[in-house]
């Protein structure tokens, strides 16, 4: 079975604090963030809502994309989220967990 890697963006709320990460198991990683085990940053700022995710077959592609997004201006990140998720729905609810 081929591994899929995800670059994801979490938000505290619509237009709130954002966090970008990369993982090989999106559902498990989001669960960690929600349970306070994801990172100190997401725990401190209440960043738990999955608002964007992109899948990659290769880990190096996913890491490169994560690094690129982290360098983006905030406005570009907001545009990316708004393009695919204009309602800022929590996509975690749509994962098969």
- Residue 82: give its domain's CATH number: 3.40.1440.10
pLDDT of 97 reads 55
The helix/strand count (H/E) of the chain reads as 4, 3
* Mean of pLDDT values over 9-27: 97
pLDDT of 20 reads 98
Backbone angles phi, psi at 86, to 5 degrees: -60, -20
pLDDT of 38 reads 81
Task: State the pTM of this model.
Answer: 0.94
Q: Which domain holds residue 30?
A: 5-94
9 contacts 69 by C-beta, under 8 angstroms: yes
Report the alpha-carbon distance of residue 19 to residue 36 in Å, rounded: 14
pLDDT of 59 reads 97
54 contacts 36 by C-beta, under 8 angstroms: no
The tens digit of pLDDT for each residue in 39-95 reads: 999 999 999 999 999 999 999 999 999 999 999 999 999 999 999 999 999 999 888
Residues 6 or more apart from 61 whose CB is under 8 A from it?
5
Domain count, the chain: 1
pLDDT of 95 reads 86
């Amino acid at each position: 079975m081929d591994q899929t890697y995800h670059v994801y963006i979490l938000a505290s709320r619509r237009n709130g604090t954002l966090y970008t990460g990369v993982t090989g198991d999106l559902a498990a990683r989001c669960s960690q963030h929600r349970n306070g085990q994801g990172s100190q940053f997401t725990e401190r700022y209440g960043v738990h809502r999955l608002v964007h995710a992109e899948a990659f077959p290769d880990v190096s592609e996913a890491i490169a994309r994560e690094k690129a997004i982290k360098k983006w201006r905030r406005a570009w990140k907001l545009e990316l989220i708004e393009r695919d998720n204009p309602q800022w729905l929590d996509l975690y609810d749509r994962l098969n967990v």
